[in-house]
Amino acid sequence: MKTVKELSTEEKLRLICGKGRWHTEDLGGKLPNVMVADGPVGLRMERKTEDGKTEAIPAVAYPAIQLLANTWSTECARQMGKCLAEDCLERGVDILLAPGVNIKRDPLNGRNFEYFSEDPYLAGTMAESYIGGLQSHGVGVCIKHFCANNSEYDRLHQTSDVDERTLREIYYVPFEIACKAKPVSVMCSYNRVNGTYAAEYKKGFDVLRGDFGFDGAIFSDWDAVRDRTASAKAGLDIEMPFNEGNYEKLVADYRAGKLSDEELDACAERVLNLVARCKEMRKGKKASSTEKERRREAMRIASEGIVLLKNEGVLPLAEGQSVFVCGSFAKATPYMISGGGSACVRWEEENFDLPEKLAARGFAVDYEKAFLVNDTGAWQNARTAVLKAGRSDVNIVCVGTGVGIEYEDGDRKTLRLPAVQERAILDTAAQNPNTVVVLFAGSAIDVSAWVDRVKAVVYAGFTGEGGDEAVADILTGKVNPSGKLSETFPLSIEDVPAANTYKCAGVTRYQDGLDVGYRYYDTYEVPVAFPFGHGLSYASFAYSGLTAVREGDIVKVTFEVENTSGAAGKEVAQVYVRECAPLVYRPLKELKGYAKAAIGAGGRKKYCVELPMRAFAHWSAASDRWEVTEGDYEILVGASSADIRLRAKVTLPEIQL
Ligand code: BGC
């Protein structure tokens, strides 16, 4: 392995710019290099067809990150990371360009399906496990997009104007937590942060490296570099993809003394280290499972993340019931049930067929496509569907969004489903009181037009290719639903703070500050359709026996959950913290811990969650550090952010972290 001292200046300048679209530079074979590929919901690689076109190579399509987050299971996150690592090992990929950990500040953000949550603790901890799964199996990650990249609108120019405390408490946090898993790389975002391009955001890079212990390399997002010299000075190590013009300008700038040798060496050294680390990490690693087994895992993870939003006794389906299924999502074609852009995976297995999977589980099933995603005309001819809905015991309407609505480089226009889909729900539900809506969407939907007219809502999300099996298992009760929402479903877009803050052609002002998602709805008592953390089960759970005891640097929280039903299930319990008499503004409560456990029918489980002092601290703008204010803190344990079951108090002294 060469060191930076053994390279000429020209070689170093070349090294800090990528080679083509997907490799780091190898100086004509003098150096080893690495290959990168997208992420995060499956491996997206391209090949040239005989007629010179570029096409995606099929790969296992896992559930979208949004659905993974709804599992609230770090085991699932780790397992998905492991499976993805094995896909990468088999295809020669050293670094997966994943995961995306940006906060869902605005439910309309076109890339929300790629991100974990509106809550930074949930996003960070799930990402940490996902990264652990990938890197412990030999494949590096590239966490993205640093930072404050929370909408796609005019993403190459927008500045996210956000204050330091909000960055520290909300937008940096997922990166900070993810850094505990020692990611080999981070990718900057396209947008500007407080006026400075993210590719040149030295202050942020210094926080990553200085405060969060990040010791890897920083990649640019693809074509995010405007001025290679400025970005190198800021500490951005690799520009991707290779850009001839930017490279020539960099060389000229160096010659003109605009980039110092120390600055150049720092970046070049980190590129060398990155490659060496990836090669070392990969040594002796081989896939231990087949693609078929990984598809099974994808399906299992999807079934663990599917959220039962509403159920008035109609689910699970009862044996012998006749079922009518309508909507094109039930027999999805590839790309239908996924978001668009760099995270879009070409499915390996293309037979997505929910009616068939229900029939295979012993139900009499009839199906009508009846409507497409957006085509209003299709529903006008759907009299057959309405008639059939009326004649069956249960009517299942499959609706959603997909690549045409949720995609990179643009935001959704509305939180509502396309009119034809709302119409289909309302018209069939009018004929059949036992109507179930299955929602295939990558982010929150405004359900207000139809939710009161149906008996059950299953939020399937972007399930990946095993989604038909996963949804069938949930509907029939083979799998007891245990997913919970990682983002709020607001009543309407008007209620979302981000929708009401200042935005012009170039500037998005984060005047909502810390009030993102449930932090806002709870504090200001704004009603929502389905709260953060919500998710029903076919079982029922009772919480009891909360204790919260300070033991040195942690507060140990324990409680018990009893399964009071006759069905085995899994319960995600959430631990929120509230400062009783804060000296600075604090949202009403914030998630600081969670745990998921399987509990047999009639069984009990003890939950134990340890809260470090950081769980109680705020970022002090007065002294630029984390501080715990002396006083009382409430520990709130709940089944969702709106369903708090237990409360306890701890008293803490003043602490500077
Ligand atoms: C996206 C990144 C992606 C990269 C490479 C960019 O447009 O923002 O998330 O990794 O392309 O495909």
Per-residue pLDDT tens over the stretch 195-209? 999 999 999 999 999
**To test the ligand 1 pocket, which listed residue (97, 112, 189, 409) has its Cβ within 8 A of the most ligand atoms?**
97
Burial 375-397 (b: 16+ CB within 10 A, else e): eeebbeebeebbebbeebbbbbb
Alpha-carbon gap, residue 189 to 114, rounded angstroms:
14
Which residue's alpha carbon is at the smallest distance from atom 3 of ligand 1?
A: 342
Q: How far is CA 567 from CA 4, 489, 559, 563, in A?
A: 62, 28, 21, 8
CA-closest candidate to residue 155, choices 205, 102, 204? 102
Q: Which residues pair with 367 in a beta bridge?
A: 325
- Residue of the CA atom closest to atom 4 of ligand 1: 222
The pLDDT assigned to 376 comes to 65
| 547-604 pLDDT per residue, tens | 999 999 999 999 999 999 999 999 999 999 999 999 999 999 999 999 999 999 999 9
Atom 7 of ligand 1, nearest CA residue: 222
- Point out the ligand 1 atom lying closest to the alpha carbon of residue 145: 9
From ligand 1's centre to the CA of 351, what distance in Å? Answer: 28
Alpha helices in 432-560 (DSSP H): 467-476, 518-523
Question: What's the whole-model pTM score?
Answer: 0.98
- Mean pLDDT of the 142-146 span: 98
Q: How far is CA 312 from CA 32, 422, 449, 557, 656, in A?
A: 60, 20, 18, 33, 49
- Contact 371/327 with Cβ under 8 angstroms? yes
pLDDT band at residue 373 using 50, 70 and 90 as cut-offs: confident
Q: Binning pLDDT at 50, 70 and 90, where does residue 370 land?
A: confident
Residues 391 and 349: beta-carbon distance below 8 Å: no
- Percent of the chain with pLDDT strictly greater than 70: 99
The C-alpha R_g of the chain, in whole angstroms, comes to 25
**Is 378's pLDDT higher than 90?**
no
**Which backbone phi and psi does 82 adopt, to 5 degrees?**
-60, -45
161 is catalytic: no
pLDDT value of position 381? 60
Per-residue pLDDT at 35 exceeds 90 = yes
Retrieve residue 164's tokens: 């330091």
Say yes or no to pLDDT of 350 above 90: no
pLDDT per residue over 390-414, tens digit each?
999 999 999 999 999 999 999 999 9
- DSSP-based three-state secondary structure for 80: helix
Is residue 295 within 8 Å of residue 466, measured between CB atoms? Answer: yes
List the catalytic residue out of 94, 106, 119, 221. 221
Crossing angle between the packed helical segments 291-305 and 74-91, to the nearest 10 degrees = 150
Would the pLDDT of 40 be above 70? yes
pLDDT category of residue 351 using cuts at 50, 70 and 90: confident
Ligand 1 centroid distance, CA of 507 (Å): 22
Q: Is the CB of 144 under 6 A from ligand 1?
A: yes
Q: Which of 639, 478, 486 is nearest to 562 (CA)?
A: 639
Centre of ligand 1 from the C-alpha of residue 560, in Å: 44
CA 644 – CA 576 distance, rounded (Å) = 9
Q: Is the CB of 114 under 6 A from ligand 1?
A: no
* CA nearest neighbour of 336 among 426, 460, 227: 460
Q: Ligand 1 centroid to 145 CA: how many Å? A: 9
- Distance from the Cα of residue 362 to its chain's centroid: 35
The answer to which of 55-59, 195-199, 206-210, 431-435 has the lowest mean pLDDT is: 55-59
Torsion-angle region of 499 (φ positive above 0: left; ψ -120 to 50: alpha; else: beta): alpha
CA of 367 to the centre of ligand 1 (A): 38
The answer, yes or no, to whether any atom of ligand 1 lies below 6 A from the CB of 518, is no
CA-nearest residue for atom 5, ligand 1, is: 222
Contact 308, 481 (CB under 8 A): yes
Of the listed ranges 349-363, 481-495, 590-604, the least confidently predicted one is 349-363
Can you give the pLDDT at residue 408? 96
Question: What is the pLDDT, as a whole number, of residue 380?
Answer: 64
> In the numeric block, which tokens belong to residue 620?
């002090």
Q: Is the Cβ atom of 155 under 6 angstroms away from ligand 1?
A: no
388 lines ligand 1 (CB under 6 A): no
Banded pLDDT at 64 (limits 50, 70, 90): very high
- State the distance from the centre of ligand 1 to the C-alpha of 322, rounded, in angstroms: 45
pLDDT per residue over 151-165, tens digit each?
999 999 999 999 999
Query: Burial, 171: exposed, middle or buried (Cβ in 10 Å; 0-12, 13-18, 19+)?
Result: buried
Environment class of 283 (CB within 10 Å of its CB; exposed 0-12, middle 13-18, buried 19+): exposed
Q: How far is the CA of 205 from the centre of ligand 1 (A)?
A: 19
Task: Give the C-alpha distances (Å, rounded to integers) separating 127 from 73, 153, 220, 305, 483.
Answer: 11, 25, 20, 15, 17
DSSP 167: I
Which residue, by CA, sits nearest to atom 6 of ligand 1?
222
Give which of 536, 545, 523, 543 is closest to 590, Cα–Cα.
523
pLDDT band for 377, please (50, 70, 90 cuts): low
Assign 248 to helix, strand or coil.
helix
Residue 375 has pLDDT above 90, yes or no: no
* Cβ of 152 below 6 Å from ligand 1: no
User: What ligand 1 atom has the least distance to the C-alpha of 144?
Assistant: 9
Ligand 1 in reach of 342 Cβ (< 6 A): yes
Helix or strand or coil: residue 66? Answer: helix
User: Is the predicted pLDDT of residue 382 greater than 80, yes or no?
Assistant: no
DSSP character for 6?
G
Task: Compute, in angstroms, the gap from residue 293 CA to the centroid of ligand 1.
Answer: 28
First and final C-alpha spacing in the chain: 40
pLDDT at residue number 400: 96
- Per-residue confidence (pLDDT) for residue 531, from 0 to 100: 99
pLDDT tens digits for 455-466?
A: 999 999 999 999
Residue 21 CA, closest ligand 1 atom number: 5
> Is the shortest distance between the CB of 221 and ligand 1 below 6 Å?
yes
Mean pLDDT of 367-374: 87
352 CB near ligand 1 (under 6 Å): no
**Do 415 and 108 form a contact (C-beta atoms < 8 A)?**
yes
What is the spatial distance between Cα 628 and Cα 618, in angstroms, rounded to a whole number?
7
Q: Which pLDDT does position 7 carry in this prediction?
A: 98
Nearest-10 Cα torsion for 356, 358, 360, 363 = -120
Cβ(41)–Cβ(464) below 8 Å:
yes
> Is residue 636 in contact with ligand 1, taking CB distance under 6 Å?
no
Check if 222 has its Cβ closer than 6 Å to any atom of ligand 1. Answer: yes
Mean of the per-residue pLDDT values for the chain?
96
Ligand 1 closest atom vs CA 38: 10
- CB of 97 within 6 A of ligand 1: the answer is yes
Strand 159-161 with 625-628, pairing: unpaired
pLDDT average, residue stretch 342-348: 90
Contact 539, 577 (CB under 8 A): no
Q: In the chain, pLDDT over 90 holds for what percent of residues? A: 93
Closest ligand 1 atom to residue 142 Cα is: 10
pLDDT band for 372, please (50, 70, 90 cuts): confident
Q: Is residue 219 lining ligand 1, measured as CB closer than 6 Å? A: no
pLDDT tens digits, one per residue of 71-118: 999 999 999 999 999 999 999 999 999 999 999 999 999 999 999 999
How many whole angstroms separate alpha carbon 105 and alpha carbon 161? 13
The predicted model gives 625-646 an average pLDDT of 98
Mutate to test the pocket of ligand 1, among 21, 22, 38, 114 (most ligand atoms within 8 A of CB): 38
CA 220 – ligand 1 centroid, Å: 9
285: confidence class by pLDDT, cuts 50, 70, 90: very high
